[in-house]
Amino acid sequence: MKTKLLLIIIGISGLLTKVAIGQQLPQYSQYMMNQYLLNPAVGGTSDQYHINAGYRKQWLGINDGPSTIYLSGHGHVGKEHPRHRGRHKNMNSWHHGIGFLFVSDRTGPTSRNNFLLSYAYDMQVAKKIRMSFGVFGGIQQWSLDAERIKLYDPSTQVAGFTKYLPDASVGIWVYHPSWYIGASAHQLFMNKIDTRTFSINGGPAFSNGANRLTQHYYVTGGVNLPLGNDFRFVPSLLMKTSLFSPGVSVDINAKTRFKEFVWAGVSYRNNDAVVFLLGLLIEKQYELGYSYDYGIGTISRYGSGSHEIFLGYRLSQKAKIISPHEFW
C-alpha cells in the first residue's frame, strides 16, 4: 500500500504542481537512437526517411509505474535552394525537414498525450559542417482518471479532469561526420493547468487552482571515433534541466559499434541509474534496440529497474551524409 500511495503522490504532484518540475516530460534511455525525440532540428537531417517507435516501462515492480509509448517519423522535403544549386558537389541537397511525434506518458492515475508536427531548415555553414533549426508545434492533453485512484474510504467521491493545451518546442543542431552538438527548449508556452475540476467530495483538491507547466532544456553532444576498420567508439552526453530546477541531470554514454550491424553501450545518469544498451541494424534498414536501467537512486528501493524497447525503419538507403542518427 505504501508504494501505491507513493505512486499516486508522485503522479499527481508531477502533473499538477510547480515544484515537481523534473517529472513533467518523459524519461528516455535510448534517445540516442532517436534524437528527434529531444530536438525538432534533427528532423530531415538525413536523406533517409525514418519511422521509429518505442515503449518504456519504468520502475518495474511498482504497480502503475510510469510507462511511455511513442511513434515518430521525419524526413526531408524539397531540394537544394536555387542559389546553391551546383555550388557544392557531393553534398546533401536537402534543406527542409518535416515530421511528427506522438507521445503517450502515464503514471498511475495521471496521463499526458502529445501530438506534435515539426519543421526544420538545414544549411551548410562550413566545410563538412551543417546547421539545422527546428520547431515542434501541436497539442498536449493532460488527464487525471479518478477511477484509477483507490482510497481507503470507498464513500469518498473523486472527480478527475482532462485539459487540452497548445505546445511548442525549438531546437538547433550542428553536425559534422565526426561530431554533433544540439540544444532545445520545450513547453515554451508554460501553460497553466486549471485543477479546480479535480475535487474530493465536491470540494477542490488543491487550494491553488492554476498550476503552471515549466520550460525544459536539453543540450546534447557526441563524437564518432574509429577503432580500426570494423569498430567505432561513440561517447556522448546529455544535460537536461528546467526553468526552476535546482540542478542538472546528466547522462554520460559510451557505445561501441561493430560495422553497420551490432552495437552495445552503457550510460550513467547521475543519482538515478546505470543503463545497459544493445542494438542491431539489419540490412541497413531495420533497427532494434533494448535497454535496461539499473536504479541507483532512492526510488530503486521500491522497484527493480526499467525496460525500454526501440524499433526503427529507414525508408531509403542512400545515406550520403552523416547525420546524428547515423552516429548510432
pLDDT, tens digit (0-9, with 9 covering 90-100), for 272-324: 999 999 999 998 889 999 999 999 977 777 778 899 999 999 987 454 555 55
Of 171, 168, 163, 99, nearest in space to 134 by CA: 171
The C-alpha cell that represents 140 in the structure block:
498536449
pLDDT in tens, 1-27: 444 444 444 455 444 443 344 458 999
Is residue 189 a contact partner of residue 168, using CB atoms and an 8 Å limit? Answer: yes
Q: What is the mean pLDDT of residues 119-135?
A: 93
DSSP letters spanning 171-194: EEEEEETTEEEEEEEE-TT--EEE
In 127-258, beta strands by DSSP E: 129-144, 158-159, 161-176, 179-186, 192-194, 199-200, 203-204, 210-212, 216-223, 225-227, 231-242, 249-258
- Cα 52 vs. chain centroid, distance in angstroms? 12
Domain that holds residue 311: 2-327
pLDDT in tens, 138-176: 999 998 887 777 766 666 666 677 889 999 999 999 999
Query: Is the pLDDT at 233 greater than 90, yes or no?
Result: yes
φ, ψ at 57 (rounded to 5°): -115, 115
**What residues are paired with 8 via a beta bridge?**
none
CATH number of the domain enclosing 312: 2.40.160.40
Collapsing DSSP states into helix, strand and coil, what is residue 227? Answer: strand
Categorize the per-residue pLDDT at 79 as very low, low, confident or very high, splitting at 50, 70 and 90.
Answer: low
Is residue 132 a contact partner of residue 41, using CB atoms and an 8 Å limit? Answer: yes
- Cα 297 vs. chain centroid, distance in angstroms? 21
Other beta carbons within 10 angstroms of residue 96's beta carbon come to 17
The pLDDT, as a whole number, for residue 208 is 53
Collapsing DSSP states into helix, strand and coil, what is residue 41? Answer: helix
Do β-strands 273-282 and 286-295 pair in parallel, antiparallel, or remain unpaired?
antiparallel
pLDDT in tens, 14-64: 444 433 444 589 999 999 999 999 999 999 998 789 999 999 999 887 878
The pLDDT, as a whole number, for residue 20 is 40
Of 10, 3, 208, 202, nearest in space to 109 by CA: 10
Q: Which amino acid is at 215?
A: Q
pTM of the model: 0.85
Is residue 172 a contact partner of residue 42, using CB atoms and an 8 Å limit? Answer: no
Position with higher pLDDT, 119 vs 327:
119
Q: Give how far Cα 306 sits from Cα of 28, 113, 139, Å.
A: 10, 21, 28
Give dist(CA 211, CA 227) in Å, integer: 51
Instruction: State the total domains in the chain.
Output: 1
Phi-psi region of 141 (alpha: psi -120 to 50; beta: other; left: phi over 0): beta
